[in-house]
Amino acid sequence: MHPGSSDALFWTAAFNGIKIVIYVAANSNCMFTILTGAQFGDEGKGKVIDLLAENYDVIVRFQGGDNAGHTVVVGGKKYKLHLVPSGAILGRRLLIGPGVVLNPHVLWDEIQVLESEGIKLDLGIDAKTSIIMPYHIELDALREQARTHKIGTTNRGIGFAYVDKVAREEVQMADLTDPDLLEAKLDEIGPAKEKAIADLGGDPTVVRHSPLIDEYLQIGLRLKERVADVSREINTALSEERGVLAEGAQGAFLDVIHGTQKYVTSSFTTAGSACANLGVGPVMVDNVVGVIKAYITRVGEGPMPTELTDEMGSRMREKGGEYGTTTGRPRRCGWFDAVLGLKSVYLNGYTELALTKLDVLTGIDPLKICIGYDLDGESIGYPPESTGMLARCEPIYEEMPGWTEDITEIKEYDDLPQNARAYVERLEDLLYVEQVGNSIAAVSVGPGREQTIFRDEAADQKI
């Protein structure tokens, strides 16, 4: 919180016996908030960002690409967004940061769809944003086909675009706005890409002769006016006491360092990376919001200790609509894993959590919560570092009674069935980290904006 901000209102909440002061900015405000997914992605970040966006002036995406798929439901209308930040529907300043990998074709389509719905976009794209070229998508598909142990990527070229960023061989947004620059870049890096594709049995002409390259250039020229310096814009906004919300994609355990390597995406999905990716100092951060589902899902390969491959898993999938927004793949579902959840609070330093999809658990009795693992005969309360060891972990559960009442129309926390409140509060206890003082500040009971319950009365005034 920036001291001296006159229009910020704050409220206090007492959870876990600790008094927490949560500052909430009203309308024009001066906060820098980072929001990330606390599990394996698809926690419902789109809905929560859309909800919070009202209180911020700038919404900025800081990592990932069109592998992400946010679903936002406003007034019963569904918007599926892959690249445009979720605040789009509210008409905020939207930014795509240089840590994102961008498929111009996907972005252009999204802009067209939103604008055809009458949504005018005030969108800036950092000049240094890496472009996902057609050869990245080709390489992604070829490499995945060749793998014995598949990752189950979204096949959007994400990993190979990040490889090129780190290898200093990327095409950047600014290159797309100038045909000469792009041609020179492709002449420089093209031969190595052609060889890599040919070695994997693919068609190397995709590198310099794909018809998509011309299309990319056309889009680049149309986007030229939107090219921005995102770090500068954010720092300027904060110095003028305007609020900035940094939106993450995917989730903590898909992080390329801290996730379940190799079954991860290729970007840094945890909160700390927002500062590095956006070029904002860590001292500017006021809040870190984690979005976490009342159960857990994963799409793609990799360990998930509480996975349910039985009838209960299918029930969660059908009731929760757990099919990928980007790929349509069925998501693997399982009981809430508080062991992973606690690690997520550590990885991100969440100050507040938004618990989503509580309504999906209605009618399930008993509910199970994973509170520890059995690893080769030993009980542990924190996930092992190695992915192989995590795959061997057997969940240790505690059970809680469920509820049968429909909760999707409930607006006040106290009106939730007692067993639902007990479930929320048990998760809150299990995820509590004293140094951070985190709490479950909001509970989502349906996809709509209005289907959100705040844990403190004063919060209703702001969202």
Q: Is 57 a catalytic residue?
A: no
Residue 142 or 445 having the CB closest to ligand GTP: 445
134-163 binders of ligand GTP (CB under 6 A): none
Residue 325 interacting with ligand GTP (CB under 6 A): yes
* Nearest residue (CB) to ligand IMP, 29 versus 266: 266
Tracing tokens 């919560």 back to the chain, one arrives at: 369
Selection from Mg ion, ligand IMP, ligand GTP, none that 265 binds (CB < 5 to 8 A by kind) is ligand IMP
Cβ proximity to ligand GTP, 45 vs 185, nearer residue: 45
Does 65 engage in binding with Mg ion (CB under 5 A)? no
State yes or no: is 70 an active-site residue. Answer: yes
**Position among 65, 69, 85, 341 found at the interface with ligand GTP (CB under 6 A):** 69
For position 46 contacting ligand GTP by CB under 6 A, the verdict is yes
Q: How far is the CB of 440 from ligand GTP (least distance, A)?
A: 13
**71 binding ligand GTP? (CB under 6 A):** yes
Of the candidates 462, 384, 449, the residue with the CA atom closest to the CA atom of residue 76: 449
Task: Please identify the residue of the shown chain whose CB is closest to the bound ligand IMP.
Answer: 300
Q: What would the 3-class secondary structure string for the chain be?
A: CCCCCCCEEEEEEEECCEEEEEEEECCCCCCEEEEEECCCCCCCHHHHHHHHHCCCCEEEECCECCCCCEEEEECCEEEEECCCCHHHHHCCEEEECCCEEECHHHHHHHHHHHHHCCCCCEEEEECCCEECCHHHHHHHHHHHHHCCCCCCCCCCCHHHHHHHHHCCCCCEHHHHCCHHHHHHHHHHHHHHHHHHHHHCCCCHHHCCCCHHHHHHHHHHHHHHHHEECHHHHHHHHHHCCCCEEEECCCCHHHCCCCCCCCCCCCCCCCCHHHHHHHCCCHHHCCEEEEEEECCEEECCCCCCCCECCCHHHHHHHHHHCCECCCCCCECEEECEEHHHHHHHHHHHCCCEEEEECHHHHCCCCCEEEEEEEEECCEEECCCCCCHHHHHHCEEEEEEECCCCCCCCCCCCHHHCCHHHHHHHHHHHHHHCCCCCCCEEEEEECCCECCCEEECCHHHHHCC
151 makes contact, choosing from Mg ion, ligand IMP, ligand GTP, none, with CB < 5 to 8 Å by partner type, with ligand IMP
**Contact set with ligand IMP (CB under 6 A):** 41-42, 67-69, 151-154, 156, 158-159, 249-250, 254, 263, 265-266, 299-300
Q: Per rule CB under 6 A, is residue 246 in the interface with ligand GTP?
A: no
Listed in sequence order, the DSSP H helices in 129-229 are 134-146, 158-166, 173-176, 179-199, 211-223
The catalytically annotated residue of 50, 70, 126, 359 is 70
Cβ(230)–Cβ(16) below 8 Å = no
- The entry of ligand GTP, Mg ion, ligand IMP, none near residue 45 (CB within 5 to 8 angstroms by kind) is ligand GTP
Give least dist CB 148 to ligand IMP, A.
16
Q: Which residues pair with 130 in a beta bridge?
A: 101, 172
x-marked contacts with Mg ion along 308-347 as a string, rule CB under 5 A? -----------------x----------------------
290 near ligand GTP, rule: CB under 6 A: no
d(CA 316, CA 360): 7
Residue from 55, 154, 172, 250 in contact with ligand GTP (CB under 6 A)? 250
Among 20, 22, 38, 43, binds ligand GTP (CB under 6 A): 43
Asked if 47 interacts with ligand GTP (CB under 6 A), we say yes
CB of 84 to ligand GTP, least distance (A): 12
The one of ligand IMP, ligand GTP, Mg ion, none whose footprint includes residue 447, by CB under 5 to 8 A per kind, is: ligand GTP
Give the number of residues in contact with Mg ion, rule: CB under 5 A. 3
Among 446, 449, 454, 455, binds ligand GTP (CB under 6 A): 446
- Site string (389-428) toward ligand GTP, x via CB under 6 A: ----------------------------------------
Active site residues: 42, 70
Residues that bind ligand GTP (CB under 6 A): 37, 41-47, 68-71, 73, 249-250, 320-321, 325, 356-357, 359-360, 444-447
User: Which residues bind to Mg ion, rule: CB under 5 A?
Assistant: 42, 69, 325
